[in-house]
Amino acid sequence: MKNHEIHNYRAKPICDMHMHPHVEAPLDESVAIYNDVMEHFNYEKIVLQALPYYEPINNYKTLYFKAQDKRIYANLGRFHHYDERDTKEFYEEQIKTFYAMGCDGIKLYEGKPECRKVFGRSLCDPVLDKFYEFVEEKQLPMVIHFGDPREFWDINKIPKWALERGWLYDESFVHFDALQKEVEGILEKFPKTQFVMAHFFFVSDDIDYAANFMDKWENVTFDLTPGTEMFFNFNDKADEWKQFFIKYADRILYGSDIYNWHREGKTIEEKYSHAVNLVRSFLEYKEPFTDKWTTRTFDHPFGFSDDILDKIYHDNMVRLFGENSRPLDGDRIVYELKRDLPNLKLNEVTKQNADEIIAFFSK
Ligand SMILES: [Zn+2]
């Protein structure tokens, strides 16, 4: 049975704008996982958010996956040398290359606290101006992972599970508020940017900030990919948040953070449904429910009508990314990958990935 049949969700097609090719694996295994996921969750389109920070070949894998399936869109992530080669011209050339190869948008990951620390520059540093200028001019959706829940900066408030994973951010990390200012700094320079704030911009604890931000920047959208804390916060102030969702229904997008990851479990439902079920149950159910993943009971789910769900699950993604993905330029992809190879620090698996990608696009 498909996910919506098991849980009695709506049967309409869904667009998931927040998935990843995160894990080193043979390419055909990943293609099979994406296909299974799309079938099981009734996905019409998905956007893969590349994470070259973790795996430098990730941009090329993302383009490869896009080439395998018309339903897949590719958001590419910035690459850095972390030395004097990271110039204005380097970033400008990079964004133009992404566009020429056939990206559908951009994924920014430098706002993740540990990445921001390594990056060592403000997210709105002038060295990036040409990059952002191009993104704004082409109206490419730019998905930013900014921050983490605010309580991760506070030893007294951080949840135990996050503390155990070493996610407490001390003074050596840029603070949540300062990071938020850096994001606003990009928008102040490039106000028409199609910015998608991943994980609801981690502002579900501050509805006034969220509303002001939406009102101030007309092209900004929020994505609903958990952060489980978002749904606890929505539930705690359900009436206010429900009004927010209705008011900004054209600017809220569905996402699940599913990876090409061999999770434990026998079925696709067991392996990949945890975030999907939290989001969909909370948006759709009218009665209180207990979520398996978080083991929390939500007493005030939104229970939205079809017109709101259509926008969040489907229409907003299509409006932002287009009914069809942008065309790929295979020759350019091969040229760029070969040129990048010395910088990519490949291991056995990713070397194999690179060879297959070159062979595929050379055909
Ligand atoms: Zn993600």
CA dist 253 → 46, 143, 244, 309 (Å) = 12, 11, 14, 10
Task: Determine the distance separating the centroid of ligand 1 and the alpha carbon of 29, expressed in angstroms.
Answer: 20
Task: Determine the distance separating the centroid of ligand 1 and the alpha carbon of 356, expressed in angstroms.
Answer: 25
Q: What is the 3-state secondary structure (H, E, C) of 260-276?
A: CCCCCCCCHHHHHCHHH
Task: Determine the distance separating the centroid of ligand 1 and the alpha carbon of 330, expressed in angstroms.
Answer: 26
Q: Is the pLDDT of residue 9 over 80?
A: yes
Q: Is the pLDDT of residue 263 over 80?
A: no
Task: Determine the distance separating the centroid of ligand 1 and the alpha carbon of 258, expressed in angstroms.
Answer: 8
Nearest by Cα to 5 from 37, 38, 36, 40:
40
Domain span holding position 233: 3-362
Cα distance between residue 227 and residue 257, in whole Å: 10
Cα distance between residue 76 and residue 333, in whole Å: 13
Q: Is the pLDDT of residue 87 over 90?
A: yes
Task: Determine the distance separating the centroid of ligand 1 and the alpha carbon of 362, expressed in angstroms.
Answer: 31
Q: What is the pLDDT of residue 230?
A: 95
| Maximum C-alpha span of the chain | 57
Cα distance between residue 145 and residue 288, in whole Å: 30
Tokens 């990949």, residue? 272
**Length of the chain measured in residues:** 363
For the segment 212-224, what is each residue's pLDDT rounded down to a tens digit?
999 999 999 999 9
Average pLDDT over residues 73-102: 96
Q: What is the pLDDT of residue 165?
A: 87
With beta carbons less than 8 A apart as the criterion, state whether 179 and 53 touch. no
Task: Determine the distance separating the centroid of ligand 1 and the alpha carbon of 257, expressed in angstroms.
Answer: 5
**233: three-class secondary structure by DSSP:** helix
Average pLDDT over residues 228-248: 97
Q: Is the pLDDT of residue 232 over 90?
A: yes
- Burial class, 129, CB count within 10 angstroms (exposed 0-12 / middle 13-18 / buried 19+): middle
Task: Determine the distance separating the centroid of ligand 1 and the alpha carbon of 48, expressed in angstroms.
Answer: 9
Local structure of residue 70 (DSSP, 8 states): T
Task: Determine the distance separating the centroid of ligand 1 and the alpha carbon of 20, expressed in angstroms.
Answer: 7
Give the other-Cβ count within 10 Å of 349's Cβ.
Answer: 15
Q: Is the pLDDT of residue 260 over 80?
A: yes
Task: Determine the distance separating the centroid of ligand 1 and the alpha carbon of 227, expressed in angstroms.
Answer: 10
Q: Is the pLDDT of residue 344 over 90?
A: no
Tokens 């009436």, residue? 239
Q: What is the pLDDT of residue 59?
A: 97
- Return the higher-pLDDT residue of 175 and 9: 9
**203: three-class secondary structure by DSSP:** coil
Q: How many domains does the chain have?
A: 1
**174: three-class secondary structure by DSSP:** coil
For the segment 169-201, what is each residue's pLDDT rounded down to a tens digit?
988 999 999 999 999 999 999 999 999 999 999
Write the CATH number for 136.
3.20.20.140
Write down the H helix ranges in 263-315: 268-272, 274-284, 306-310
Task: Determine the distance separating the centroid of ligand 1 and the alpha carbon of 351, expressed in angstroms.
Answer: 24
Task: Determine the distance separating the centroid of ligand 1 and the alpha carbon of 363, expressed in angstroms.
Answer: 32
Task: Determine the distance separating the centroid of ligand 1 and the alpha carbon of 144, expressed in angstroms.
Answer: 9
CB-side neighbour CA atoms (13 Å) of 270? 6
Q: Is the pLDDT of residue 335 over 80?
A: yes
Give the E-state strand segments of 297-357 in sequence order. 297-298
**Distance of alpha carbon 320 from the chain centroid:** 14
CA dist 307 → 10, 127, 271 (Å) = 12, 43, 30
Task: Determine the distance separating the centroid of ligand 1 and the alpha carbon of 172, expressed in angstroms.
Answer: 24
Task: Determine the distance separating the centroid of ligand 1 and the alpha carbon of 111, expressed in angstroms.
Answer: 12
Task: Determine the distance separating the centroid of ligand 1 and the alpha carbon of 279, expressed in angstroms.
Answer: 15
Task: Determine the distance separating the centroid of ligand 1 and the alpha carbon of 202, expressed in angstroms.
Answer: 13
